[in-house]
Structures are given as C-alpha cells and as structure tokens.
Structure 1
C-alpha cells in the first residue's frame, strides 16, 4: 500500500484534535519534533511505520484507523498512467518492462502474506 501523506496527516490531526491533545505534547510523547509532526499533519512528510505506530499508541487508536482511506482503489488511474508510459517506449523497452512487471507481480503475490505478517508483528511489538 502506498501511503498518501495528505490523508494520513489529516487523519492524525483529526484524531489528535478530537482528543484535545496539543501538537507539541503528541510530538514529545512520540519522541519526534513538533515541526516534524506539523509536516506530517499538513501532508509534507510521510511518517515511517514506526512513527505511525507510536502516534497511534499515544492517541489511543489503531494504526488501521489512522490509515483509513489510504487504500487507492481507483485502478483506472494506474492503468492510464501505465498506458501513457508504454506509449513512449520502443518495442524492446516494452518487452523488458513487461517481463519486469510480470516478475514483480509474481514476487509481490508470493511475499504478500509474509509482509503482512511482519507488519502485524511490528505493530504488536509496540
């Protein structure tokens, strides 16, 4: 999943303000600078998974709730962008890209379960 910095920042700010927690206090509790938290909340920086976990813990919420709305289901956008990229390629480049994409798809499907379990383990550790 690609994290949309603006969406997660907006969500963190919503939860923080609903809890009436000052930005400075949340930053201190999460061991990050208040300017970094400000950048996260306005979508200028994308937090690491570790920072998202710390923020969720301090806001007494789940990582899932902070990531809510981050899943881009508009595959049409991706298909259009891929098609536009391919239009600019030679036949050789198209074949190489096809082979790479196919390989990556297989690898992603094989490793998806492993990656998801590692994320869950990391979350439980915090």
Structure 2
C-alpha cells in the first residue's frame, strides 16, 4: 500500500489497515509545506480521503468499489516539523453509503486536523468509467 502512487509521494507508513480502522503516520517534510513553511492543508484533505476510502473499500470487499462523494476537513493547528498520525474509523456503514471520521494528531498527541468522508458503495464498478 505505502510503496505506490499517492501513498509513496506523501511518505505514508501504514501501521494498521482493516475495514474497521486505518492508522498511518508520516513526516511533516518540507516537500509537503505551503509557502509559509507549514504543512499544506491539501495534505490533510488528501490523507483523510485516502485512508477513509481505503478503510471503506476493505470493509466492502468483493461486493464492489467505493467512491468519495464528500470530504469535509477542519484545520486546527499548524505544523512545521515532526511526525503526524492519522486514524480513520467508520461512523456509519450502510448498503449504499459509508461515513468515516479521521483524526490527525502531532507527535505530542494534539489534534492537528479532523475530517469526515462520505463514500458511495458501488456494486457495478463498470459504471465508474462512464
């Protein structure tokens, strides 16, 4: 999971991955900063959507695919350096949709950002390409 595409670009390290909980960590590297020298808000949004989607997909399994339909992220604390950790857990898992909450903390356990992602369960994956 961590060695390809987005996960590799952001340096995500997977600590736990199941349909009930995803936990990752990464470093607040300068490559992820915005011009003021703090981690870019888009990093938080992207990590939140990525790990919520992975958890939702693991839970849905062979029954289909998931696609994000809403991402709401709140930025709570600026970070310049250090290790960040994100934990995603389901709030609702239904036949058609799922809702996952993600909390991002710094290495001192302080909340940095939090968000939720609503995902659509898609049984017929061929529909996604059209």
TM-score, normalised to structure 1's length?
0.24
- Between Structure 1 and Structure 2, the one with more helix by share is 1
> Greater Rg, structure 1 or structure 2?
1
